[in-house]
Amino acid sequence: MMLDVAPDQVYAVVVGIDHYGYGPDWTLAGPARDAQRFADWLLGQGVPLKNIAVFLSESSWQEPEIKAWKARLRDEISERLATADRISSYFAAELFPKLRTLRRQPCALLVYWGGHGVLDDREWRQYLLTTDAEPNNPKCICVQHMLRAAACRSMEHVQKQVLIFDVCATSFGSLGETNQPMVVALSGTGEFALATTQYHIYAASKGQQTKDDKEKQRGVFSALFLQALANQNSCTLADVEAAFKAIEHHPELEDQYPVLRKDGYSVDHRGRANPPLSSLARDLLSVTAGLRLNPKSTQRAYLRSLPSSGRSVTGTDLQAYIKDLDDTRPEFDDAAPPLIEFAKRLADICNKPELAQWARANAPDGTYMLLEGKLDAELRVAQRPHADLFVLMEQRDSAAIQWWLETPDDRSDTQRMTIACAPGNPLPTLQEHLPDIIDTALGYIYDNQDLRIGFIVPTELLIAGFENIIVNSETGDRRPLIAGYQVLYHWAEPLTVSNLHPRFVSRRRETQLAISNYITNGGSARLVWLNAGSADGANPKFYDATAQQIGTPGPVCLALEHVSSDSEDTRIHSLAASLRAGIPCLLWLPQPDDPGQSEIRRAKVQRSFDRHELARAPLRVPHEQANDYEMPTIEGLGIVWDLPEYLPKAARHQHRFHDPS
């Protein structure tokens, strides 16, 4: 048995990339031979050759050692090239369909990847560069996307999964690239399978490079780990963990610190996720059991508590967050454990003093005071007022770019300025002029204000990567725009009933899919759907305020609609189509004069959605109601009462909320 299944039910993807399109300076000594050795170990465990897919660079397949290895295997192994498209196509068209045909049989999955890797500049995601990565075209596969694809509901019978990544964990910015990572998506994402257990192993911690042995043609971690696996009497998940612990502090690794992450779930008699927890984690879970916690607020607290959220678990399961944080070491020895930080952050975000008391009682000596200081400093920064620099491109083929500044007190607002550009290609113009535009804007605002950049663009420019334009930071160094400023995209695409023609809905679905892939696979800016169908829709400050007010952390794609009582059912029909296309929506309702009518109004809206069978939509409509003091962030449709006191000053204008029809 191997990972609790017969060896012929084990499937493996083995990738070793020595050569890249960046040139000879990028050549590695080891990944291809490590991939060969890993495949040989699998064969020695009884895994059939037909279940093993090996991906190498074209040059590696021509090397004498690899050719001799192929000959020993009677040339029965396919020469698969480790390009982004070939690897993605294998997962989508071969591996996942094959595994789905075996749904009545338990299976296991192993992945080995050796080569170059980077973290995105926010350290949220790990990218695996493929052999066809080259200057200005850094093609790659996202680890987090791979983990989700392998653990989706259709793969629930693949219950044991081990993924090993012998790649560096340095910053993407260190590559000196002007383009964003060119992530090629993997299919298979969706709801998690509760019975799946994933062990993902990284050869290096955040910011570290991996070591290779050029003389022996091997990666140091890969060689040590493979030998430790071979020393085990069997190959269960416990054996994999034992092998990792046996070499975790091996002297050959020197200051390279590997990481083992476990995303493990069992299913209790009610079918709920039930990960194994330590006593401290179980204690925290019991404290949260009686609290009503907003899932998005919980996710935000979780992501901010991770030393490196590039290796975060996905979904909104509280037990998974607690288990992951409990398994994570703090970034510094004198820092509070991530689980303690999570409890404190959640207490502050959700106003739950019992969580703060728990965090204080369980924090190691001296760490809680440091944690309070850290969070207080973050809060002071977050409370600084923002000035908004807007950059408008009305159409892709526009011959001009407009920009203007809006400030909290309106006194420093500027008129719209116009810059000529080449029709259809605004990027070179922005690259040339944006640094000067920002310098000009900074001269108008006060020292206590932070500058935020908003691009108002049509569909075709949503994922143009403007946030990666190189500009001067306030400290004088040059870096991508997103590294120094908050960047938002405003999607100037009307969502109206007249646009429900099937061709438009199909186009919107394709656009949303592109945006979803962009966000999931490393797009670092938030996106706001700007309803340009309204007479007041050209004022993005209102939509910005809305996106901020609902409290979504990180990227968000919103469709905003205002509904009057006369057009309510028609507009709901429009939103229903968007929800079925997978587009999250936010529905604004005018607040009734009589507060007692609020529940009646909400029930009427709910019945309207029920008539449209919205329960079949990918994002289900909840039955929660927003109250006067808390606006919960809800996946799918959020019903939000139109009360000005919810909103920042710039959005407190009632006339902007009226339906133009």
Say if 619 falls within a structural domain: yes
Closest among 16, 403, 1 to 234, alpha carbons compared: 1
Residues 187 and 326 in one domain: no
How does pLDDT run across 395-421, given as a tens digit for each residue? 667 788 888 888 776 667 788 889 988
Asked whether the beta carbons of 400 and 420 are under 8 A apart, the reply is yes
Closest among 421, 483, 518, 478 to 182, alpha carbons compared: 518
Residues 331 and 246 in one domain: no
Q: Which own/partner contact pairs does 332-336 have at CB distance under 8 Å and 24+ positions apart? A: 334/366, 334/367, 334/370, 335/367, 335/370, 335/371, 336/363, 336/364, 336/367, 336/368, 336/370, 336/371
Domain-terminating residue out of 336, 351, 382: 382
Poorest-confidence range of 47-61, 70-84, 269-283, 595-609?
269-283
Of residues 273 and 420, the one with the higher pLDDT is 420
Give the DSSP letter string of 375-390.
Answer: HHHHHHHHTS-EEEEE
Say if 457 falls within a structural domain: no
How does pLDDT run across 355-370, given as a tens digit for each residue? 999 999 999 888 999 8
- Cα–Cα distance, 544 to 556 (Å, whole number): 11
The percentage of residues in the chain with a pLDDT greater than 90, rounded to a whole number, is 27
Domain-terminating residue out of 205, 232, 264: 264
The percentage of residues in the chain with a pLDDT greater than 70, rounded to a whole number, is 63
Say if 585 falls within a structural domain: yes
pTM of the model: 0.50
Say if 584 falls within a structural domain: yes
Residues 244 and 294 in one domain: no
Instruction: Name the pLDDT band for 547 (thresholds 50, 70, 90).
Output: very low
- Cα–Cα distance, 452 to 64 (Å, whole number): 56
CA dihedral 284, 285, 291, 292 (to 10 degrees): 130
Residues 53 and 108 in one domain: yes
Say if residue 519's pLDDT is above 50: no
pLDDT (mean) for 155-160: 86
- Cα–Cα distance, 221 to 213 (Å, whole number): 10
Task: Name the one residue in this structure whose structure tokens are 């070939």.
Answer: 86
Please tell me what DSSP assigns to residue 90: I
Q: Which two three-digit tokens encode residue 434?
A: 């944006």
Residues 123 and 244 in one domain: yes
pLDDT (mean) for 616-635: 28
pLDDT (mean) for 214-229: 94
Please tell me what DSSP assigns to residue 291: S
Residues 258 and 283 in one domain: no
- Cα–Cα distance, 651 to 293 (Å, whole number): 27
Helix (H) or strand (E) holding 270: none
Q: Strand pairing of 526-530 and 486-492?
A: parallel
Residues 214 and 307 in one domain: no
Say if residue 378's pLDDT is above 50: yes
Local structure of 107: helix, strand or coil: strand
Highest mean pLDDT among 35-39, 181-185, 474-478: 35-39
Residues 154 and 200 in one domain: yes
Q: Counting Cβ atoms within 10 Å, is residue 543 exposed (0-12), middle (13-18) or buried (19+)? A: buried
Q: Which two three-digit tokens encode residue 549?
A: 């007010």
Residues 372 and 502 in one domain: no
Residues 147 and 221 in one domain: yes
Q: How many domains does the chain have?
A: 3
Say if 242 falls within a structural domain: yes
Residues 260 and 283 in one domain: no
Residues 144 and 97 in one domain: yes
pLDDT (mean) for 477-494: 68
Please tell me what DSSP assigns to residue 310: T
Sign of CA dihedral 311, 315, 321, 327: negative
Sign of CA dihedral 47, 48, 51, 53: positive
pLDDT (mean) for 476-486: 73
CA distances from 555 to 78, 304, 582 (A): 40, 14, 16
Say if residue 614's pLDDT is above 60: no
Domain-terminating residue out of 327, 360, 382: 382
Contacts of 270 (CB under 8 A, 6+ apart): none
CATH number where 155 lies? 3.40.50.1460
Say if 453 falls within a structural domain: no
pLDDT of residue 595: 60
pLDDT (mean) for 92-108: 87
Asked whether the beta carbons of 164 and 204 are under 8 A apart, the reply is no
- Round the average pLDDT of the chain to a whole number and report it: 73
Closest among 118, 113, 205, 204 to 150, alpha carbons compared: 113
Say if 237 falls within a structural domain: yes
Structural domain for 12, as ranges: 7-264
Say if 141 falls within a structural domain: yes
Of residues 166 and 605, the one with the higher pLDDT is 166
